[in-house]
Amino acid sequence: MRLIPLAALLLTVLPVQADTLADLKAALQRLQAETPIRGQVTLKSENRNNEGKDDAEVQPGQAQLSFEDGPQGLRLAYPQTLLNKALSEDQAKDQDPKAATPTANGLRELGYKEVRELTRPAEVLSRQLARATLKGEKADSWQGKPAKLLSFELQQRRPDKYVKKYEGQLDVWVAADGTPLAARSTQKISGRAMVVISFEMNSQDEWHFAVSGERLVVTRKLTTGSGSGAGEKGQQRREFALQLS
């Protein structure tokens, strides 16, 4: 009677455990196709300086642009009416430094880098994983659907002599086939510059993903941040929304 090796026997009776991280990386490669997409991207933002004081300055931002992205590249459309509105706001601010400039602020904050991250997030997430170390995996859910939650430790992108402490974490919710459903990154930085000036910065980014053809897109991104240093405090919030047409 021929004996079956123990390892082979175990493979016949035990399910093969999926490698969620490998599935995620494979999905990110697959979902970088140049499927043509078009639609609108919207930004709403708020910047606060000297938070907590009576004279805190609040600068809102708001803008909406049409875009097309595909094999020919990324195109953003800036309607003349929107440009005229931004110009009018800047002219009003020349006369009154306290005048609100939401359109001008929104256009400054909604550029190539921000839109590319919404239309081609597989590239961005792949780059983040390249500087991340997997710390854990567990069963979870995302918007009521079963998911695996992968948690990573992020490394500081570039050494900085002024940064004394850095903490970074990336969490990714992954579907059964490896497709990312959502992600969240947090970073905390503290340090000292010019001997006497200490600073602290905290930021968090959250992405909600969807698939269009063979292409990953971000339908919603929320960025929040705060910082303090040299006797000043600030807080920022940016919400991006992408709608395909």
In a domain, 108, yes or no: yes
The pLDDT, as a whole number, for residue 99 is 92
Q: What is the pTM of this model?
A: 0.84
Q: For the beta carbon of residue 194, count every other beta carbon within 10 angstroms.
A: 7
Alpha helices (runs of H) in the chain, residue ranges in sequence order? 6-13, 20-30, 80-95, 102-109, 112-119, 121-130
Distances, alpha carbon 116 to alpha carbons 5, 75, 91, 150, 207, in Å: 52, 10, 30, 24, 13
Query: Does a structural domain hold residue 3?
Result: no
CA neighbours closer than 13 Å in the CB half-sphere of residue 179: 19
- The set of residues, in sequence order, having a beta carbon less than 8 Å from that of 182 and lying 6+ positions away, is 142, 172, 173, 206, 207, 208, 209
- CA quadruple 213, 216, 220, 224: dihedral, nearest 10: -170
What value does the mean pLDDT take over residues 163-174? 88
Return the CATH number at 192: 2.30.230
Res. 12 pLDDT band, cuts 50 70 90? very low
Top-confidence residue, 49 or 36? 36
Please check whether residue 11 lies inside any domain of the structure: no
Range of the domain at 41: 37-244
Q: Is residue 26 part of a domain?
A: no
Rg of the chain over all Cα atoms, to the nearest angstrom: 23
How many whole angstroms separate alpha carbon 204 and alpha carbon 238?
11
Q: Is residue 184 part of a domain?
A: yes
In tens, the pLDDT along 172-219 reads 999 999 999 999 999 988 777 765 677 788 999 999 999 999 999 999
Whether the predicted pLDDT of 8 surpasses 80: no
Residue 178 lies in a domain: yes
Are the beta carbons of 117 and 124 closer than 8 angstroms? yes
Give me the number of domains the chain comprises. Answer: 1
The answer to the question of residue 31 being in a domain is no
In a domain, 56, yes or no: yes
- Give the three-state DSSP class for 85: helix
Query: Does the structure show a pLDDT above 80 at 41?
Result: yes
